[in-house]
Amino acid sequence: MNINFKEKVFIVTGASSGMGKSCSELLLENDAVVVGIDRNDSTIEHDRYSHCKSDVLDEEQIQKCISEVDSKYGHIDGLVNAAGIFGNNKPFYELTSEEWNKVISVNTTGTFIVSKAAAPIMIREKQGKIVNISCIRSTIFKNNMADYAASKGAVASMTSAMALDLAPYNIQVNCVAPGFIYTGMTAASFDMPDVRAKSEALIPNGRLGMPKDIASVVLFLLSDMSDYVTGTMLFADGGYHIQK
C-alpha cells in the first residue's frame, strides 16, 4: 500500500484558500484529479483541477456539482470538508442567534450537506474516504469561543457517527484537529510578534503549523494506508494538546 492517487478523484471544499487550497495542491502534486468547491473563484490553475463555485450551504448547487463529477468520472474516491469560518469572538451570552447560526451552519451543516451528497456515490462504488476538518477547540477551550467550539465539536462527533453509518460500505470517515495554523485568516493575528511568540511558546514543537502540515495528514487519511482507520480524530497541532 502507498500514496498513489493517479486517476483517483477527490472533492475538496474551501479549496480557494487556506487548508483547503493546500490539500488540493498536494493532491494534485500526487497525480490526483481534484474538484474544488468554494464560494469564491478558483485560485488554482492545473489541468487536473476543476472548480465549482458554490456555498456549501446551497444544497441544490452542491448536489448539482457532485452529480456532474459523477457523470464525468464515474466515481468519487474521497471528500475533504475544509470549508469553514471562525467564530464571533464573543462570550456566548452576547451572541445573537444569527451570529450563532451562521457559524454552526457553515462549519457543521455545510459538512453534512456535502457529505450527504457525496456518500451515495461512494456507497454505490463500495469504497471512499471522507476527511472532515475539526479543530483543537473541539476539546480544548478558551474564552469567547462557544459558537466555534460547538461547531467543531459537532464535526468531531458527526465524524464518528458517519463512520459507523458508512463502515458496511468500505468507506472510512475521519477528521483532523489542527492547532495554531498560519493561514490567510489567521495572518493578521500571528503577524503580530508578541502574539506569535506567545502562541509558539505553547507548542512543544516550537512553531506554528502551516497549511501543508495539515494537508499531509489529510493525504494519509485519503490514502490506502489508512484503510483500517475510521471514526478517529487525528490531532495535528505540534503537540499542543498533550500538555493540557
Residues in the chain: 244
State whether residue 109 is helix, strand or coil: helix
- Strand runs labelled E in the chain: 9-13, 33-38, 49-53, 78-81, 128-133, 171-178, 233-236
Distance of alpha carbon 28 from alpha carbon 10, whole angstroms: 10
**148 in active site:** yes
Q: Computed from CA positions of residues 103, 109, 110, 112, in that sequence, does the dihedral angle turn out positive or negative?
A: positive
**CA-CA distances (angstroms) from residue 119 to 35, 123, 132, 202, 217?**
16, 6, 13, 38, 22
Would you state the cell numbers that stand for residue 190, as one nine-digit string? 500571528
Are the beta carbons of 179 and 238 closer than 8 angstroms?
yes
- The active-site residue out of 49, 73, 93, 148 is 148
**CA-CA distances (angstroms) from residue 169 to 4, 71, 123, 179?**
21, 21, 6, 31
Active site residues: 148
